[in-house]
Amino acid sequence: MVQPAFLDVETSVTGRRWVDRLDVGTTRTAQAIAQRTDLSEILARILAGRGVQLDEAETYLVPTIRDLMPDPSSLTDMDRLAERLARAVADNESIALFGDYDVDGASSCALMTRYLNYFGLSPQVHIPDRIFEGYGPNIAAMDKLIDAGATLIITLDCGTTSDAPILHARNRGADVLVIDHHLSDKELPQPNALVNPNRPDDVSGLGYLCAAGVTFMVLVAVNRVLRARGDTGLPDLMAMLDLVALATVCDVVPLRGLNRAFVVRGLEVARRGANRGIGALALAARLNGPLNPYHLGYLIGPRINAGGRIGDASLGARLLAMDDEHEALLIAGQLNELNAERQRIELEAVEEATRVAEAEIGNGEGPPVLILASASWHAGVVGLIAARLRERFERPAFAIALGPDGGGTGSGRSVPGVDLGTAVIAAVDAGIIPKGGGHAMAAGVTIKAGQMPAFRAHIYEQLTNAATRARSDTALEIDAALTARGASVDFVHDIERAGPFGAGNPQPVFAFPAHKARFPDVVGAGGHVKFTLTSGDGARLKAIAFRAASTELGQVLLTAGNDTPLHLAGTLTLDHWQGREEVQLRLTDLARPQSR
């Protein structure tokens, strides 16, 4: 049975139908939660809409690592890896870390570095250059680490598909441990141990963890081995959960199960300011108020990534591992400048990509997956271009930076229900492209000259059905209707108890019926539209539509007039300014009320 449209919105300004997130069954669950607990009706609806049952409701609001983390030994190869790493710690071995150049890789390296530093060990850390080395271990880097004395190399957030470099390192006498979470349907490489919850023979059910989450579980296992040997005074791993929270949010892994507990506890640690690097980045980004997932994902994370995109890829890992406040402030300043330059480069590239995509789509449906390439794009921002294309055109997208020889490197970003990583790995296995991998929502590719037509045909064949289904299901799910007066600071604090929100635990969307969008104005280089939401009783609410000025959504806001009633939908956040908290609506969609 088709649900009736929420507020009778069959087609919004962005072309979406509005529906209640709850069906008949989940509505009953929400009613039961509200009746049998002290939770508000709207909080009960939010929980039920995310699959929480009556007997889980109150514990869901207080996720704990103790309750949600399984025995680390449930991960395949964990015991072997933990034993080898514990032996290296006990023997004061020369250890090298090889990480990825994104936030997850930097956080994983910093987590491992801090752990080893506790024992007086100073590991070499190598983060590859995105342009010249690409993703994952390479033979030259392995040689460099071994020549500098490393007898144990640990790869973090990479290594699952690195057969040749791992074999080379072992042939030279070094041991190799792989800690990763990326997909692979190929035969696994042969390190001394490989812990990856997404390896085909792992049945732990922890495939939703990011690499830093897996690294944390490794360190729990190593502590256990050392404790069994009689060691005391081991590192306090809970004090390092700020790094796990940062990576979990920034790698956009599902915020469910253990990941929710990691982020909740990690944010508590981060707010105490123990990590000099995170604190310095918060200052550079001019953050107000206590750290929250938005700060991690949209303000701190991009600054760490900026080093890997257009600067020194090692800056982020170094910053997150250091305790010197002065040096931390200097590196955070460098990353802040690189981020500003990254934003400029990205803006120019996205404008070009958007023009090309609009021409390709035309007045019809266009291709199910956008695959765009340009010689003018910086390889460090292709993932951001793909993300903007996915957001703007509501379909999976690849952006590929072409080199002088006609080949290139690129990134893809997907929508729920469309598995990019598996499709890219299949392209590698079929010999269509030389290198690629990733996970369901994001993937990276390397393409040689002349391979673009075959790659495009392969992606269309693999993903058209799933992408078409995903685009046909573009309904905007509404959690509840609200008024500007009801959107109080206390209300937002109440609903935030169901967080942290993100992938797998979507932020609640509220509809504001027949409100007015007054005093609209375009602000910022990104073309954001700020306005004031008002209700019939005179209540006001600050509001913003990000990157909307050139879209139909933004144009309606700018031209509708101060006294035109509109149905508006979006998410609520708290702004902190001079010690005060204010609620802000982040607009997602709007519709004109139907005449009756």
Residues 262-310: tens digit of each pLDDT: 999 999 999 999 999 999 999 999 998 899 999 999 999 999 999 999 9
- pLDDT tops 80 at residue 230: yes
Kindly state whether residues 175 and 124 are assigned to the same domain. Answer: yes
Which is nearest to 566 in space by CA: 13, 21, 3, 42? Answer: 13
**Rounded (5°) CA angle 126-130-133:** 70
At residue 363, the pLDDT reads 75
Is residue 62 assigned to a domain?
A: no
- pLDDT tops 80 at residue 2: no
Is residue 360 assigned to a domain?
A: no
d(CA 482, CA 513): 8
- pLDDT tops 70 at residue 194: yes
Is residue 345 assigned to a domain?
A: no
pLDDT digits (tens, 9 = 90+) for 333-368: 999 999 999 999 999 999 999 999 999 988 778 899
Three-state helix/strand/coil letters over 17-85: CEEECCCHHHHHHHHHHHHHCCCCHHHHHHHHCCCCCHHHHHHHCCCCHHHHCCCHHHCCCHHHHHHHH
At residue 437, the pLDDT reads 86
- pLDDT tops 60 at residue 596: no
Q: Range with the lowest mean pLDDT among 106-110, 130-134, 457-461, 487-491?
A: 130-134
Kindly state whether residues 483 and 467 are assigned to the same domain. Answer: no
Which ranges in 362-407 belong to alpha helices (H)?
382-393
Tell me what the pLDDT averaged over the chain comes to: 94
Residue 472 confidence class, pLDDT cut points 50, 70, 90: confident
- pLDDT tops 90 at residue 58: no
Kindly state whether residues 431 and 483 are assigned to the same domain. Answer: no
Q: What domain range includes position 149?
A: 67-337
What DSSP line would sit under 420-474, residue for residue?
A: HHHHHHHHHHTTSSSEEEEETTEEEEEE-TT-HHHHHHHHHHHHHHHHHHHHH--
Domain end call among 472, 502, 525: 472
- pLDDT tops 60 at residue 385: yes
At residue 577, the pLDDT reads 77
Kindly state whether residues 138 and 19 are assigned to the same domain. Answer: no
Dig out the tokens for 421 from the structure: 């990583």
pLDDT above 70 covers a percentage of the chain that reads 99
- pLDDT tops 90 at residue 186: no
Residue 471 confidence class, pLDDT cut points 50, 70, 90: confident
**DSSP bridge partners of 195:** 179
Is residue 302 assigned to a domain?
A: yes
**Does 500 sit behind a cis peptide bond, omega within 30 degrees of 0 on the bond before it?**
yes
Q: What is the mean pLDDT of residues 451-472?
A: 93
Kindly state whether residues 428 and 500 are assigned to the same domain. Answer: no
- pLDDT tops 70 at residue 1: no
- pLDDT tops 60 at residue 113: yes
Is residue 343 assigned to a domain?
A: no
Residue 155 confidence class, pLDDT cut points 50, 70, 90: very high
Q: What is the mean pLDDT of residues 473-482?
A: 92
Q: What is the mean pLDDT of residues 50-66?
A: 93
At residue 544, the pLDDT reads 97
At residue 418, the pLDDT reads 94
Residue 565 confidence class, pLDDT cut points 50, 70, 90: very high
- pLDDT tops 80 at residue 473: no
At residue 403, the pLDDT reads 94
Kindly state whether residues 492 and 528 are assigned to the same domain. Answer: yes
- pLDDT tops 80 at residue 185: no
Q: Are strands 510-523 and 565-577 parallel, antiparallel or unpaired?
A: antiparallel
At residue 203, the pLDDT reads 95
d(CA 339, CA 206): 33
Q: Are strands 95-99 and 18-20 parallel, antiparallel or unpaired?
A: unpaired
At residue 344, the pLDDT reads 94
Domain end call among 289, 321, 337: 337
d(CA 507, CA 57): 17
Dig out the tokens for 438 from the structure: 């990733």
Kindly state whether residues 510 and 584 are assigned to the same domain. Answer: yes
Residue 595 confidence class, pLDDT cut points 50, 70, 90: low
Alpha-carbon 445 to chain mean position: 19
> Phi/psi of residue 402, each to 5°?
-90, 140
Kindly state whether residues 179 and 303 are assigned to the same domain. Answer: yes
Kindly state whether residues 373 and 277 are assigned to the same domain. Answer: no
d(CA 408, CA 400): 6
In the DSSP assignment, the letter for residue 506 is P
Which is nearest to 180 in space by CA: 166, 170, 268, 459? Answer: 166
Q: What is the mean pLDDT of residues 40-55?
A: 96
Domain end call among 472, 506, 530: 472
Is residue 174 assigned to a domain?
A: yes
CATH number of the domain to which 432 belongs: 3.10.310.30
Is residue 359 assigned to a domain?
A: no
Kindly state whether residues 388 and 500 are assigned to the same domain. Answer: no
pLDDT digits (tens, 9 = 90+) for 207-228: 999 999 999 999 999 999 999 9
Is residue 57 assigned to a domain?
A: no
At residue 409, the pLDDT reads 94
Which is nearest to 256 in space by CA: 305, 314, 213? Answer: 213
CATH number of the domain to which 520 belongs: 2.40.50.460
d(CA 198, CA 483): 44
Kindly state whether residues 451 and 372 are assigned to the same domain. Answer: yes
CATH number of the domain to which 161 belongs: 3.90.1640.30
Domain count, the chain: 3
Kindly state whether residues 75 and 45 are assigned to the same domain. Answer: no
Q: Are strands 397-402 and 565-577 parallel, antiparallel or unpaired?
A: unpaired
